[in-house]
Amino acid sequence: MAGDRSGRLIFHAKFCMLFFMSGQTVHIKSFGCQMNKLDTALVTSALREAGFGFTENVKEADAVLINTCSVREHAEQRVLSHLGHLKHIKEKKPDMVVGVVGCMAQRLGAELLEHDAVDIVCGPAQILQIAELVTEALQDKKKAVAVTEKIRKAKPENQALEEFESACGIDDKAIPAQAFVRAMRGCNKFCTYCIVPYVRGPEVSRPPEAIIEQIKKLADNGVKLVTLLGQAINSYKYQAGDKTYCLADLFRLASEVNGIEWIRFVTSYPQDEFYDEILKAMAELPKVCNYLHMPAQSSSDKILRAMNRNYTAEQYLGLLAKARAMVPGIAIAGDFIVGFPQETEQDFQDTVELVKKARYKNCFVFKYSPRPGTTADKRLEDNIPLEVKRRRNIELLAVQEKVSGESSREFLGRTVRVLVEGLSKKPHLDSAEGQNLPQLVGRTAEDWIVVFNGPESLAGKFAKVKITRVSPLTLFGELSV
Ligand code: 5AD
Ligand code: SF4
């Protein structure tokens, strides 16, 4: 039952037709990062091709798929509590099929089948089998596991997966005119706290022509902003004959695609390799957004060493200075982990100082969460109490909020170009400002969030907004003609 079946499965464009399931409906719930959202979009597309319909209502679904995240324990707990809820639904609807897809499926494998609710376990490299797995589970009522065994030893190039990804549409209409495209799978960095290399496998860069073909198709379907994805995307490296393609080459090729107006990329690892090329291309190519997400994680050299991050705080700040010198106006975002084992108050204060100096647009702060099987979990005791992690988390965010507030104030009175995402979920503007038009949200090329009133028909289009008011993380303004 267990094992990687991708070897005996030859995917071709007509594959999905073999399992045409008219009338059956699927409900998909997705947890986690943008990489996971992209996997969900591919799964949705494959199931649609295979004839499945979709429902927002779990109780109406013939099959429920949960695309999962393992990066922190909390993410896994949310999945488990969702499975508990599905177990109750299954008591009344025993024929309903439940599948766990993604990182948690790869991490726990067959163990997940012990959960009463679970029928299918499907790792991130097996999503090409999803239509087959769901079809078989619905027909035969048999449980199935499809994960990669010994994932770090698996051959990194997975031809079947690449063909699947290239052939599948990216079925993600969540934000009009925007889409994600994977540049790389997996990760070889082995930061000691991180589960990703163990659940997403070795690093592999996708062929540039496959990436560009996808971008062309997306542009033909009205996509204007494409975000290239990779765990350490600035390591992108693809050898074709004598030529080694790096991320800067992808920028050049993607810039030539008509219809694409903005190109973003996440996430960058602080390293010298390709850095100058990437920044130079960013400065030269108008379509490449001046935005860099480059996590520092900590500013204590002792902690950085324990995390296996291959730079010092000084080197990291040097990389930021270079980015600002080569790309004036660049917006930089960061990630931090607080409460890593043995992080003293002084180590944490070093991080506070770095956040003040780095002048991020925004940063994400996470409490260290030990992940089973990682080096940090095996070798280091999780010795920072939860209250201390919480306090450090709040303190760091407060420091960043002040920095963000100073940066956002510089926008007052300026007019910015935004790509409109759609209706704003939160009511930010009071009705006096409302002019009877709904409240929209968009982002600048540098990823600043902008809220303003305008017609809903602007969703997926570019607009100019004059900034009249700011909060640390949001700019507010008026549509200008
Ligand atoms: N605990 C807390 N945060 C983590 N991250 C990755 N692994 C862990 C962990 N075990 C954070 C890092 C990374 C972001 C995606 O998640 O900051 O950049
Ligand atoms: Fe995890 Fe480090 Fe790879 Fe990022 S670079 S996915 S933190 S191992």
Q: How far is the CA of 451 from the centre of ligand 2 (A)?
A: 33
Contact 229/38 with Cβ under 8 angstroms?
yes
From the CA of 197, how far away is ligand 2's center (Å)? 7
Which atom of ligand 2 is least distant from the CA of 200? 6
Cβ atoms 119, 127 nearer than 8 A: no
Q: What average pLDDT does this structure show over 153-157? A: 81
Please say if the pLDDT value at position 2 is more than 60: no
Average the pLDDT over 258-263 and give the result.
98
What's the mean pLDDT when you consider all of the chain? 92
For the Cβ of 231 lying below 6 angstroms from any atom of ligand 2, the answer is yes
59, 93 contact by CB (below 8 A): yes
Tokens of 389: 């992690």
Report whether residue 123 contacts ligand 1, using a CB cutoff of 6 Å: no
Ligand 2 pocket, residue 296 CB under 6 Å: no
User: Distance from the CA of 373 to the center of ligand 2, in angstroms?
Assistant: 15
Query: Each residue of 240-259: pLDDT tens digit?
Result: 999 999 999 999 999 999 99
C-alpha–C-alpha distance, residues 180 and 173, integer Å: 11
281 pLDDT exceeds 90? yes
Q: Which atom of ligand 2 is nearest to the CA of 71?
A: 1
Q: Which two tokens stand for residue 131?
A: 């239509």
Percent of the chain at pLDDT > 90 equals 87
pLDDT of residue 269: 98
For residue 372, the CA-to-ligand 2 centroid distance in Å is 15
Interval 41-54: pLDDT, tens: 999 999 999 999 99
Check if 268 has its Cβ closer than 6 Å to any atom of ligand 1. no
Q: Please state the rounded mean pLDDT for residues 277-293.
A: 98
Ligand nearest to the CA of residue 374, numbered in listed order? 1
pLDDT tens by residue, 292-329? 999 999 999 999 999 999 999 999 999 999 999 999 99
Q: Is the pLDDT of residue 433 over 70?
A: no
The number of helix segments (H) and strand segments (E) in the chain equals 15, 21
pLDDT in tens, 65-101: 999 999 999 999 999 999 999 999 999 999 999 999 9
Query: Which pLDDT tens digit goes with each residue over 106-119?
Result: 999 999 999 999 99
Atom of ligand 1 nearest to the CA of 71: 7
Confidence of residue 428 (pLDDT cuts 50, 70, 90): low
What pTM value is reported for the model? Answer: 0.93
Q: Which two tokens stand for residue 34?
A: 């943008």
CA 12, CA 378: separation in Å to the nearest integer? 42
Check residue 10 and give its pLDDT.
37
Please state, for a pLDDT cut of 70, what percent of the chain lies above it.
93
Give the confidence band of 434 by pLDDT, cuts at 50, 70, 90: low
CB 283 within 8 A of CB 291: no
Binding site membership of 191 for ligand 2 (Cβ less than 6 Å)? yes
Could you report the per-residue pLDDT of 323-350, keeping only the tens digit for each? 999 999 999 999 999 999 999 999 999 9
The whole-angstrom separation of Cα 199 and Cα 152 is 9
Can you read off the two tokens belonging to residue 269?
């690892």
Whether 411 shows a pLDDT value over 50: the answer reads yes
Using the atom order of ligand 2, give the atom closest to the CA of residue 190.
8
Inter-residue contact 228 to 265 (CB < 8 Å): yes
How many other CB atoms are found less than 10 A from the CB of residue 293?
Answer: 21
Determine if ligand 1 sits within 6 Å of the CB of residue 198.
no
CA distance 142 to 140: 5
According to the model, what pLDDT value does residue 430 have? 57
Contact partners, residue 2, CB within 8 Å, separation at least 6: 109, 110, 145, 147, 149
Residue nearest to atom 13 of ligand 1 (CA): 335
- Closest residue CA from atom 9 of ligand 1: 369
pLDDT for 167: 86
> 458 alpha carbon to ligand 1 midpoint, in Å?
35
User: 282: which residues sit within 8 A by CB, 6+ positions away?
Assistant: 251, 288, 290, 326, 327, 330
**Cα–Cα distance, 319 to 281 (Å, whole number):** 16
| CA 194–ligand 2 middle distance (angstroms) | 6
Whether the predicted pLDDT of 169 surpasses 90: no
pLDDT digits (tens, 9 = 90+) for 230-242: 999 999 999 999 9
The answer on pLDDT for 60 being more than 60 is yes
R_g of the chain computed on alpha carbons: 23
Tokens of 77: 């707990």
Q: Is the peptide bond before 40 cis (omega within 30 degrees of 0)?
A: no
ω into 351 cis (within 30 of 0): no
Q: Would you say the CB of residue 295 lies under 6 angstroms from ligand 1?
A: yes
User: How far apart, in whole angstroms, are the C-alpha atoms of residue 381 and residue 402?
Assistant: 33
- The model's pLDDT over 176-214, given as tens digits with 9 standing for 90+, comes to 999 999 999 999 999 999 999 999 999 999 999 999 999
pLDDT at residue 389 is higher than 60: yes
Listing DSSP states for 81-104 in one string gives: HHHHHHHHHHHH-TT-EEEEEEHH
Distance spanning both ends of the chain, measured CA to CA: 62
Give the pairing of strands 25-30 and 53-54: parallel
Mutate which of 185, 190, 191, 193 for ligand 2? The one with the most ligand atoms within 8 Å of its CB, which is 191
**Which residue's entry shows tokens 């994400």?**
364
